[in-house]
A and B are shown apart, each in its own frame.
Chain A
Amino acid sequence: MSKVDASETRPQPSSLVADVDRLVVVPRRNYGIWIGTALTLVLSFFILRAFAVNPAFGWETAAGYLFHPSIMRGLLNTLILTVVIMALAIIIGTVVAVMRVSPSPVLRGFAGAYVWFFRGVPALIQLIFWFNLALLVREISLTLPFVGEVFSIRTNDFMTPFFSAVVALSLCEAGYMAEIIRAGIKSVPSGQSEAASALGMPYRNILKRIVLPQAMRFVVPPTGNEAINLLKMTSLVTFIAVDDLFYSAQSIYARTFETIPLLIVVAVWYLAVVSIMSVGQHFLERHFGRSETRTDSWALRVIRSAFGSRAKEFSA
């Protein structure tokens, strides 16, 4: 900028204003975007056509199975598994995360080992391991001195497929949740707990009332992703014969050989549940972010939910 002369700020003669108004802006041509758009349209056409014209997809067959009673039962089991496992994973994960930030090196070490193990071993292997726990431990019993045996139970009696699925996947998912919650706890500035200490709040209250609620804002978006991952991960329980959504579909197409239509049914249900979960995630995020986002417009919230957590970057 050159220095502003006083004469430049004076009103201009109307002829100059008219002259400036007549100038036309020619937009820059972005050929790359045009070519990309054209290619994408062509590709979409071929994909849609492949779906539409290939009779092997069997859309009518798929539609017929969409609300089939055994598919419905499978879907219900998948949902129950997801909710129960996620709830347990959040509880166990919170405990492990609090241990990981504890002053005691033993607690920290134990929690670190937990995360290392349960995140490191593939979920499918953990699942089959718990299902076969009876090979390792024949029965579980509690014996107290002077009282004798309090109770005893054969492993095979309680390690049903459903129960081993819950145990295996909660422990595994808790490893991931622990890391997410720990990152959330670390994201709360240390001044917050310091101020709480100075007010005379005991450690457990500081965690419960000051640190964890603020950590939630950082924890909710990745937890939503984890819940969506978990929903899909529960399809692994098919391997130990829990009749979830995928298992129900499998047992139908094993009889009827309508493999593709039933896979479509499964995919449609997973997509539907994931979409509903995304909406729920959006409302949770809004609840825990209320001290940050209450000045946001309604439109911005819609954009944020559409783009997921990444939208935070440009609205911040």
Chain B
Amino acid sequence: MSNTPSENRARFGVPENSMVFARGVRKSYGPLEVLKGVDIDVPAGSVACIIGPSGSGKSTFLRCINHLEKLTGGILLVDGAFVGYDLRDDRLYEVKDDELCQRRAEIGMLFQSFNLFSHMTVMENLVEAPIHVRRMPAEQAKAEALELLARVGLSDKVDRYPRELSGGQQQRVAIARAMAMKPKVLLFDEPTSALDPELVGEVLQVMRDLAEAGMTMVVVTHEIGFAREIGDQLIFMDGGVIVEQGDPREMIANPQSPRTREFLSKVL
């Protein structure tokens, strides 16, 4: 068996506690190159925030992590292992659909538009994947779902349909749905961008709680304040490359690159 974390660690120099490890990640759509070689290290238990103008490739990179997009080049390891491939004899074999699904289930993802299943109640949304992907007994899945809903403060919405909830509540349900799979890492794709300003806080609070509980998170966001407060590293992307990365507080106070400085001056 190949593609084991220990082998990859030795071969690619992956740090011991690495959760997301990217080297030279490239992605093209036809002639259009969206990612032009991205290197990222996200240690387990840390929060990485990615900022950048629209079209900078930050969402595409996030979607590469759980293999919703196939890489055109480079390597991307989650917890030391490839997500969409098996490495054997110097070849990357694409894994079968079922295997890919099992690996993807360990990587939670949150979307700008929440994407709760609109024909299901909150409870049905939460137990769908645990029951049908993880083969968890229904009783256990329901008990765990109730616990998670209590954690995001929505115990009273168990039997509501998504359209009966506010945007902030929907995103909190979506976070609970992702957590129901007990993921190793959570990916957030502009989780608060579609929310009314007064609803942003409740979602950020839930994310703050997760970070404090030790969840590894990669967050594409426009919330510079959140990045400064919670982020362990800040990554500024523009034109498909990482322009600058470092400690959020230092980088925001004293950006090195003129492009970073210009972007921060617009969003702060």
Contact = CB atoms under 8 A, between A and B. Distances in A.
Given A192-B115, A214-B119, A198 B128 contact: no
A196 B105 contact: no
Contact of A192 (B102, B104, B118, B178): B118
A292 interface: yes
Q: How large is the interface on A (under 10, 10 to 19, 20 to 34, 35 or more residues)?
A: 20 to 34
A191 B115 contact: yes
Contacts of B150: none
B97 interface: yes
A286 to B, nearest CB: 14
Contacts of A201: 101, 128-129, 132-133
Which of B101, B106, B162, B181 is packed against the most chain A CB atoms within 10 Å? B101
Interface string A179-217: 000000000010110111111111101000110011001
Given A291-B163, A292-B163, A198 B118 contact: no
Interface of B: 66, 68, 97-98, 101-109, 111, 113, 115-121, 128-129, 132-133, 161-164, 174, 177-178, 181
A200 B113 contact: no
Contacts of A196: 117, 129
Contacts, number: 74
Interface of A: 189, 191-192, 194-203, 205, 209-210, 213-214, 217, 291-292, 294-295
A195 B133 contact: no
Nearest to A215: B119
A288 to B, nearest CB: 8
Given A194-B111, A292-B163, A200 B117 contact: no
27 contacts: A189-B113, A191-B113, A192-B117, A192-B118, A194-B115, A195-B117, A195-B174, A197-B104, A198-B66, A198-B68, A198-B107, A198-B109, A198-B178, A199-B105, A200-B101, A200-B105, A200-B181, A201-B101, A201-B129, A201-B132, A202-B101, A214-B117, A214-B119, A291-B119, A291-B120, A291-B162, A295-B164
